[in-house]
A and B are shown apart, each in its own frame.
Chain A
Amino acid sequence: MEIPYTISTRPDTGLWNAKVGIWLFLASEVMLFGGLFSAYIFLRIDAAPGMWPHGLLNVPVGTMNTAILILSSVTVVLAWASLKMRRYRAYWWYMLATILCGVIFLTVKLAYEWPQKFEHFGAYIKPEALGKYEKYLGNERRTEKGLEPRIEITGHLHSQNAKEYEVALDPVNAEPDNPAMDRPHFFPLPVTDKIATIEKEDVERATMFLPTHSAYFASYFTITGLHGMHVLGGVLVFIYMWLPVSKRLYQRNPEHLANRVEVSGLFWHFVDLIWIFVFPLFYLL
């Protein structure tokens, strides 16, 4: 069956079919991500002072990934422009660059950023036991300075038994009285060799840096995970358009392929635009 209006515009909408379809789809996506961003903002506003994690993400790596996504938007629009000018070879190279950018972004996210979080551990200490772990928390000095008390000990889980956790401490807990540790570190500091023993009966809750850790990480993994799935979807569509099967469409009807690239490019730009909001919200602010 021949689908009408793949190239020519419909008389009623003034647009070809796929363009109407992609904008309706993107409108639903705005509502999806808008709801998640709203949830994040309200959770953050509602958090008690000093309780919202800050500086736990790797800003240089996040910046690099942002630059990669911006670059991919440039290459996809140049791929589309190449098709409009009937330069298939240039289109092929620009599309390949776009695919590579998407793959690099996902690789950094899934093979580096997320695993770093999965191997990190945090134990929230019960309020009545905070004094017992003062040497890891430094709350006396913080109270004197008017800062919020620390209630969590973080690091790498060295070992655990029925009664205790052994944690290789993060610098913030290894040197809690160092004034430099009062501020978040956007260039992550490596875990120290200092091991702390934490009794399980003193712990309110303990978890790796997973969505169960806090509302912050629940929001982070939900939004970046959903965004990553969109990036994966875009990459798969681009791979299809890069394969020889699309060259046959180009030879038969180049404008049809250009229109397909345009709607997938619109989707890709939307996905990249989402990241433009994710990056400052989660990494910087």
Chain B
Amino acid sequence: MSLKAFHIVFIIFSTLLALGTGAWCVWVNLVEGAPIYLTGAIASFAAAIALIVYGIWFYRKMKRLRIIT
């Protein structure tokens, strides 16, 4: 597996982590009622979206530059 492929796998796992952290923050907010965790949830979901956008950009760029091994 090339670095490019492994990077895409890594970004997928990072996205899942961001989504999981967001869900965890929502859960803690529901249990504790602390708004700071809601901020954390929003930040985590935003990070997940950013990672998805980055992953797509990276894949297209590598394909365009033909850096695919």
- A interface with B by C-beta (< 8 Å): 23, 63, 66-67, 70, 73-74, 77, 80-81, 84-85, 183, 186-187, 262, 265-266, 269-270, 272-273, 276, 279-280, 284
Contacts and interface: CB of A to CB of B under 8 A. Distances in A.
Interface string B25-38: 00010011000100
A77 B21 contact: no
Nearest to A280: B20
Contact of A262 (B3, B21, B28): B3
Nearest to A279: B17
B65 to A, nearest CB: 7
A276 B32 contact: no
Contact of A280 (B6, B17, B67): B17
Interface residues of B, number: 26
Contacts of A273: 10, 13
Contacts of A73: 7, 10, 14
Contact of B65 (A66, A74, A85, A187): A85
B14 A265 contact: no
Interface of B: 1-4, 6-7, 10, 13-14, 17, 20-21, 24, 28, 31-32, 36, 40, 47, 51, 54, 58, 61-62, 65, 67
Chain A binding surface, main DSSP class: helix
A6 to B, nearest CB: 15
Contacts of B24: 280, 284
Contact of A266 (B6, B40, B54, B62): B6
Contacts of A266: 1, 3, 6
Contacts of A84: 65, 67
A183 B10 contact: no
A66 to B, nearest CB: 7
A276 B3 contact: no
11 contacts: A66-B17, A67-B47, A186-B28, A187-B36, A262-B2, A266-B6, A270-B6, A273-B10, A276-B14, A284-B20, A284-B24
Given A70-B14, A269-B10, 17 more contacts: A23-B1, A63-B40, A74-B54, A77-B4, A77-B7, A85-B65, A183-B32, A266-B6, A269-B3, A269-B7, A270-B6, A273-B10, A276-B10, A276-B14, A276-B17, A280-B17, A284-B20
Nearest to B34: A187
Considering residues B3, B47, B58, which has the most beta carbons from chain A within 10 angstroms of its beta carbon?
Answer: B3
Contacts of B62: 81
A84 B4 CA distance: 12
A74 B13 CA distance: 14
B62 to A, nearest CB: 7
B18 to A, nearest CB: 9
Contacts of B6: 266, 269-270
A77 B9 CA distance: 13
Contacts of B21: 63, 280, 284
Contacts of A183: 31-32
Contacts of A70: 14, 51
Contacts of A280: 17, 20-21, 24
